[in-house]
Chains A and B, each alone.
Chain A
Amino acid sequence: MKIVIRYRACLTILSLMLTLPLAGCATTSADIHAEVPARHTISEFKDQSFAEVADPWEGFNRSMYRFNFYFDKYLFLPVVYGYEFITPTFVQKRVSGFYNNLGEVRNLTNSLFQLKGKESVTTLGRFVTNSTLGLGGLFDPATSFGLERHDQDFGKTLGYWGADSGPYLVLPIFGPSSLRDTGGLAVDSAITYGIYAAIDPFANTGNSFAISSGITTMNAIDSRHQQSFRYYESGYPFEYYMVRFFYHEKRQIESGKPLPAE
């Protein structure tokens, strides 16, 4: 999920985002009839609300949700499908393995931030095993050795130390998030970038920028390739709320501190 977008791309996307919502608004019908209250309204039910998530920016979020739908449809998914078409499945799996292995760095830093000793050792073990025996992450022997993957990120770290998720937020391209997790994403990206800048693995090639852009782009394509979610695919009119609820709840549950056994 860590996709670094170049400045120029950001600008293009931003201008798209600003024009798209307007395009939708231009379709108000000429004949406006007076509204008649519905037969059933919320006031008649004396029950708790459910599957609710703090979402003060819902209007913005729904626009973003729609933007992502179009972005996927006209740009992202065609590229991903193109990639899937020209690359054998075997190669696709190796590519995913490579990026998933790089992601272990984020998992490791964050399990350290959460002072999870055992988990950190496991993750480090995974990273070392898969980087060596697994040929730079192309294969995943660590899992068959019983070293389970622990996905971690800075949003979870914040949650672990008690930070509230804050309002729900749908990010362009990245999709469902929260105020806290957006901050976490920024921190994780900064750490990744910092490590990368310190090592600068392609410094001697003379094409450092071109190579790293390529790697970043490929990472974005691979992330989307691994993610089967499609906006509005369910066709369910309340999909936005289902996605919001499941995202929020999963994060909430997975970032919480384990309770002591009774």
Chain B
Amino acid sequence: MMYLKLLFIACLVLLPLSSHAADDGYGYPIPGSYEATILGTPASLMPVFPAEMNTRQLVLEVIPGRRKPPIFFYDEGLRCSFAYQEKKAPLVFLIAGAGASDRAPKLLTMMKAFYQAGYHVITLPSPSHANFIISASQSRIPGDLTEDSADLYRAMEVAWKQVEGDIEVSSFNLCGYSLGGSQAAFVAKLDEERRVFNFRKVLMINPPVSLYSSATRIEDLMKQIPGGPKKQGIFFNRMLSKFSQFYRYGNFVAINDDFLYSIYTQRLFTPEETAGLIGLTYRINLAGMIFSSDVMTNSGYVVPKNRVLSPTDSIFDYFLVSTHLSFMDYFNEYLYPYFQKQRPGLTKQAFVDTLSLKSIAGYLKSSAKFGVMTNENDFILTREEQDYLRQLFGERAKFYPRGGHLGNLEYKENLAYMVAFFK
């Protein structure tokens, strides 16, 4: 392993991009937005964490008596990860990004960083993750920032009740990345009324300003696929054969970090293909949300209405159908109609407007507890949206020159900034 690591570092040093790093004094090495998003942070550039942590997994009954269809037999409640100090300490809730669970690798890294700095930590899955939809979403229909945040708040209360007796807490804090970043803002706003936690500080990492706008930009990545998003299967299969050919021509020992990294250095995929792969990953993720929500609500969207799926039924066709649906399809055919029924007279534009940080801008500006950390080349934000964040948060908006969408989240400098923000 040592040898591999050395090779890995050597590759990094030899890359032309290392000169780039020296220019602005920021050491995160990957300049491309898409590449950074996919590759994340090389292990050698992450901080060293303590080997042992006091952790346990919480399985919470957030909605008592929630009935779960047989296909979700394995879902026993909302899963949260909990790391605790043995002395009085501040607690931070971490909210995962779109489609991610409480044990998403990025979330666990953040957890370790906070733990190391002496915090208690509770991680929560994203309200767009199947586990949350099944066990903690009141409507079972994710996508509305206000409702999802109310669900999150309830989940936090239940989690806190569960651990209250075991730890001593000096203050509550909140942090989330990507979609979870925007949700953190809405959760904090709700807390101003409910006053259960009185969050001391709130950090949003790579948040979208407007959900609809950011989702559109991610969906646009799929347009770079030849034939467009509806031909994603063909695209997937072509990329896969490219991938396996590359392996067979090269002299690789196994599919490991070394191999994956050489895909990057050898520029196996073009920028368009890289964009397409990000879009496709997002779609595969989204498919899990669409399917779970549809099964939970019996809406007949991708699964026939009234069909009861058993744990051994094949659901592959639903996988293919769901991955072919875009966020816009979900929004126009499923999400918006549901909320239109709930709030008569709600126009589409008015609904889109509520799914934005701009809808609570007054509150965000007035409160000194907020901060944002993002990247200049995060493709989910437009230039105007970046300026908006700068203007809204002033000095509390930290922009890194690169890192794409979350690519540099696990980089040591970023983690250090994140932890220091809560000091």
Contacts and interface: CB of A to CB of B under 8 A. Distances in A.
A143 B2 contact: yes
B267 interface: no
B325 A40 contact: yes
A164 interface: no
B237 A50 contact: yes
Interface string B238-257: 00100111011101011100
Contacts of B255: 250, 253-254
A214 to B, nearest CB: 28
Contacts of B314: 58-59, 62
Given A24-B70, A144-B3, A241-B319, A235 B249 contact: no
A66 B249 CA distance: 38
A206 interface: no
Contacts of A35: 304-307
Given A27-B70, A38-B300, 5 more contacts: A41-B321, A50-B240, A59-B313, A236-B130, A250-B255
Contacts of A34: 306
Interface string B297-333: 0001111111110111111110111001100010001
The interface centre, meaning the residue of A32, A69, A234 with most chain B CB atoms within 10 A of its CB, is A234
A146 interface: yes
A24 B310 contact: yes
Contacts of B125: 235
A110 B288 CA distance: 40
Interface string A229-262: 0011111111001000000011011101111011
Contacts of A32: 306
Which applies to chain A's interface (DSSP): helix, strand, loop or mixed? loop
Shortest 8 CB-CB contacts between residues of A and residues of B? A48-B233, A36-B305, A235-B131, A50-B236, A232-B74, A47-B233, A33-B306, A50-B233
A15 interface: no
B315 A238 contact: yes
B54 to A, nearest CB: 13
Contacts of A51: 236, 319
A262 B248 CA distance: 12
Contacts of B287: 238
A40 B321 contact: yes
Interface string B212-237: 00000000000000000011111011
A94 B218 CA distance: 46
Nearest to B314: A58
Given A40-B302, A144-B3, A235-B101, A66 B311 contact: yes
The interface centre, meaning the residue of A37, A50, A59 with most chain B CB atoms within 10 A of its CB, is A50
Interface string A67-90: 001000000000000000000010
B1 A258 contact: no
B233 A69 contact: no
Contacts of B321: 38, 40-42, 45
Contacts of B73: 24, 66
B319 to A, nearest CB: 5
A63 B314 CA distance: 11
18 contacts: A21-B312, A33-B306, A36-B306, A38-B302, A38-B305, A41-B317, A45-B320, A46-B230, A47-B232, A50-B236, A52-B316, A62-B311, A62-B314, A146-B3, A151-B254, A237-B295, A238-B291, A252-B244
